[in-house]
Amino acid sequence: MQVDALENLHRKLPDPSAPVSPPVVRPKPGRARQLDLNQVQALIAGYKSGETVYQLGTRYGIARQTVSEILHRHEVPMRRRGLSTEQTDDAIHLYNLGWSLARVGRHLGVDSTTVLAKLRQRGVPTRDAHGRPRA
């Protein structure tokens, strides 16, 4: 039985006479994008004029969390958008129709975690990623 297992393993090994494939060349990870002072000032001005951290992140090629960090570092007061009562009612309706949290969030212009928090505040039962009710 052990001999059969060893022979089976031996058959799975590559042929020693076969040419060796070249090593996979992977690009080295890049350095994080750094904004210069002019870009930071423009980012702050954009936020103060009403742009969202998501829009600014897309424009400058950085994560929205990085935009928030820059704004905090420069002591820019943050807007809390969230969802209004009417938007929360709309979110509950759409979620109950079978929309995903991500889809509802995109529709309302907020992150899916914002939608989830509002649903939980209202006591709406949520589904798992496969659409099944959570326990």
- Is residue 134 predicted with pLDDT exceeding 80? no
- Is residue 49 predicted with pLDDT exceeding 70? yes
Give the integer Cα–Cα distance in Å for 124 and 91.
Answer: 11
Q: Which tokens go with 128? A: 């798992």
Mean pLDDT across 34-38? 92
User: Which three-class secondary structure state does DSSP give residue 12?
Assistant: helix
pLDDT tens-digit readout, 66-116: 999 999 999 999 887 678 899 999 999 999 999 999 999 989 888 888 999
- Is residue 43 predicted with pLDDT exceeding 90? yes
Give the integer Cα–Cα distance in Å for 9 and 91.
Answer: 56
* Amino acid 135: pLDDT: 66
Burial 87-115 (b: 16+ CB within 10 A, else e): bbeebbebbeeebebeebbeebebbeebb
Q: Where would I find the H helices in the chain?
A: 2-12, 37-48, 53-60, 64-73, 85-96, 101-108, 112-121
